[in-house]
Amino acid sequence: MERCMAFDKELNLEATELRLGLPGIKESEKQPFSTIKSNKRAFPNMDEKSCGSKDGSKASHAQKCNQEIASPAKAQVVGWPPVRSYRKNCFQAKTMESEATSAYLKVSMDGAPYLRKIDLKVYKGYPELLKALEDMFKFSVGDYSESEGYNNGSEFVATYEDKDGDWMLVGDVPWDMFISSCKRLRIMKGSEARGLGCAV
**Closest residue by Cα to residue 76 from 46, 33, 44, 40:** 40
Distance between CA atoms of residues 23 and 54, nearest Å:
26
Rule CB under 8 A: which of 38-67 touch other proteins? 38, 40-41, 43-50, 53, 57, 61, 64
In this complex, which beta carbon is closest to other proteins, that of residue 83 or of residue 199? 83
The verdict on 30 binding other proteins (CB under 8 A) reads no
Amino acid at 159: T
Distance between CA atoms of residues 51 and 49, nearest Å:
5
* Part in contact with other proteins (CB under 8 A); list of ranges 77-85, 119-127, 140-148, 169-177: 77-85
- What mask, x for binding other proteins by CB under 8 A, covers residues 141 to 180? ----------------------------------------
Q: Which of 82, 100, 124, 176 binds other proteins (CB under 8 A)?
A: 82
Q: Could you tell me if 40 and 69 are in contact, meaning their C-beta atoms sit under 8 angstroms apart? A: no
The verdict on 91 binding other proteins (CB under 8 A) reads yes
The verdict on 106 binding other proteins (CB under 8 A) reads yes
Partnered with residue 150 across adjacent β-strands are 144
Give me the DSSP letters along 109-170.
ETT-SS-EEEEGGG-SSHHHHHHHHHHHHT-----EETTTEE-TTSSEEEEEEETTS-EEET
Q: Which residues bind other proteins (CB under 8 A)?
A: 1, 3-4, 7-8, 15-19, 22-23, 33-38, 40-41, 43-50, 53, 57, 61, 64, 74, 76-88, 90-91, 94, 106, 108, 114-115
